[in-house]
Amino acid sequence: MRRNILSMGVGFLLCGCLSAPVAFAGPPGGLFGGGSSGFGGFGGFGGHHHGEGGSDIAAGVLNIVGSAINAASQSGHGGHHPGHGHHPGHGHNPWPQHNHGHHHHTVPVYPSTSSPIYVESRPQPQPAPLPDVKPKKNEAPIVAVKPKPNTVFASARFLSLTSADLKRADEKLTEEQEENLDDVEDLLKDELPPDENDLLDKMKAAGIKDTNKQLEILELTKNGEAGKAQVAWIQAGGSPEDARKLGKQIELQNNLNELRERNVDGRLTKRDVKRFADDVRDVMGQGNDRDEVLDRLAGVSDTIEIQELIRDARPNAGNSGLGGGMVTVVQNPNLMPGQVVNLGNGTLMVGTDQGELEIGQAMLAEALGMKVAQTEPTPESDAKIPTSGVVLRNDETSPGVVSYVINKKFDYEMQPGHLQALGSGTWTVTFDRGGSFGEGKYTLNKGTYEFQPSENGWNLFAKKFEVVIDNAGNPGEFHYVVNNVAKTVAPNSTQTHTSDYPIEVRFDRGDGAGAKRKVLSDGRYEIAVSPNDNLWDLYSADAAQIVSTSDMQTISLFGN
């Protein structure tokens, strides 16, 4: 029974080896490329050897396997080589045995008496080489360049006032009002009560000789008691007409003194000044003197309006409270040109460095020294414009329709204001010049060409487009994209762009709502603010400005 099992094992090994004549290369100690321990052999588990009996069995099995491989390599078939015999150790079982309760595994090794035989490895045939295939040239994709955002009313443009700044400005305006009222009093000198010496002279001239009456009238005049002074004058023997004049002078002085008091207390109003102006008209006849007084009072009234705006201002307003339409503008000669103060209540104070303190209404953009358009902007366009090849054009100012033939095969008519893009390549354009001028013929391959009348009839001229982007009069730089190239025009500057094809301009209007697109032919286009929405746009007409601005940062609202 033991011999039969051994024969079956050897047969299995021989069949397994002879059925696959392949080369197995590996380091010494592993028949199938495995190591002397761990995973090896036919994929079974390798292990450590225990006992001498197992060694005899392993040696016998390996001698048989080695002889079988030699025979298979020489004959190419599964038969025995002549003279081949069994190894003396063949009687041992090559399979794992259980011995004394231990599980043993064989470890394949090369027989020490023979060298391994390798099957010759032959290279696989290779297919015939194919020629290199180069990829076709692709047209580069055009990625639209996004224009940088533009700013119309940036917070950085505005000077901010703290609470202390506003308080100091109010105090300065109060002092200025006091000086204005001093000037008014000087202009009204002949309409106000005379000083004591002059009043004594007037009483003596009027026949008032009583010293006590003179002192009484002086005291009543000083205290502003117009009615009592008037009665005392008549009782002392003075004329009623002189008494009424003195009474009006005292009343006018009282009203002027009240203006002063209300100014100091911060209660002076435009209505107070208006009433006083009416009093002046009552005591003064028409003429330059009265007009000068009334003009000075008008200045006092304007300053009151500014005082009210200052007292209603918000500290550190930035650009809040402005909206986008009309604003109240205070032109302050004590501020340098370019200084802009937002009071946070819909009012801007701008520097003029000259003239008088004035107040009025204006567009916000005008108040900031920007151009505000007077006409409609250049219309937007979604038309696809050619950027290569040949383009034929009949200008909108052309006197008529032009007929022509392309490549001697295709005839066309072009109306004024139209164009035709022929694309890349070489094109022959033939047309009748009109009258007796014969035929015109041109071969073109690039650029824009325009039909124009000449002294020899119709002709075809190369067309160059030139566009000027004008940022003159604006205090900030302007970003835009021209023919998909990002550009910036500096403050108070221009940029000129030329092309063989119509020029595309895209820009942000200042609201971040997306780029606006214009297709421009020739000419100068001004950057200005639209009066409709206070955003940037391009205009082919002149624009206007009120106040120029700059980046000065010092604050001195009403002088030092």
Contact between residue 6 and residue 87 where contact means Cβ atoms under 8 Å apart: no
Assigned token pair, 443: 């071969």
pLDDT classification of 223: cutoffs 50, 70, 90: very high
- Contacts of residue 252, defined as CB under 8 A and 6 or more positions apart, other chains included, come to 188, 191, 192, 279, 280, 283
Question: Is 50 exceeded by the pLDDT of residue 550?
Answer: no
Q: Give the closest residue to 487 by CA, choosing from 74, 206, 148, 92.
A: 148
Q: How many other C-beta atoms lie within 10 A of the C-beta of residue 93?
A: 17
Kindly state the average pLDDT of the residues 342-352. 87
Question: Is 80 exceeded by the pLDDT of residue 52?
Answer: no
Calculate Rg over the CA atoms of the chain.
Answer: 55
Q: Mean pLDDT, the chain, as a whole number?
A: 79
Assigned token pair, 139: 């047209």
pLDDT digits (tens, 9 = 90+) for 234-287: 999 999 999 999 999 999 999 999 999 999 999 999 999 999 999 999 999 999
State residue 1's pLDDT score: 44
DSSP letter, residue 45? B
pLDDT classification of 317: cutoffs 50, 70, 90: confident
Kindly state the average pLDDT of the residues 58-69. 50
Tokens 């609201």 belong to which residue? 511
State residue 156's pLDDT score: 57
The pTM (predicted TM-score) of the whole model is: 0.56
Q: How many other C-beta atoms lie within 10 A of the C-beta of residue 453?
A: 14
State residue 413's pLDDT score: 97
Tokens 């100014």 belong to which residue? 263
pLDDT digits (tens, 9 = 90+) for 510-546: 988 889 999 998 899 999 999 888 899 999 964 443 3
- Going from N- to C-terminal start, the domains of the chain cover 2-103, 157-311, 315-368, 370-544
Q: How far is CA 332 from CA 156, 265, 433, 474, in A?
A: 20, 24, 66, 21
pLDDT digits (tens, 9 = 90+) for 424-439: 999 999 999 999 999 9
Work out whether strand 457-463 and strand 447-454 pair parallel, antiparallel, or are unpaired: antiparallel
**E strand residue ranges, 285-426:** 326-332, 340-342, 347-351, 358-363, 372-373, 390-394, 402-406, 410-414, 418-423
pLDDT digits (tens, 9 = 90+) for 145-192: 999 999 887 665 678 789 999 999 899 999 999 999 999 999 999 999
Question: Is 50 exceeded by the pLDDT of residue 204?
Answer: yes
**Could you give the CA distance from residue 23 to residue 20 in angstroms, rounded to a whole number?**
9
**Could you give the CA distance from residue 298 to residue 546 in angstroms, rounded to a whole number?**
23
pLDDT classification of 318: cutoffs 50, 70, 90: confident
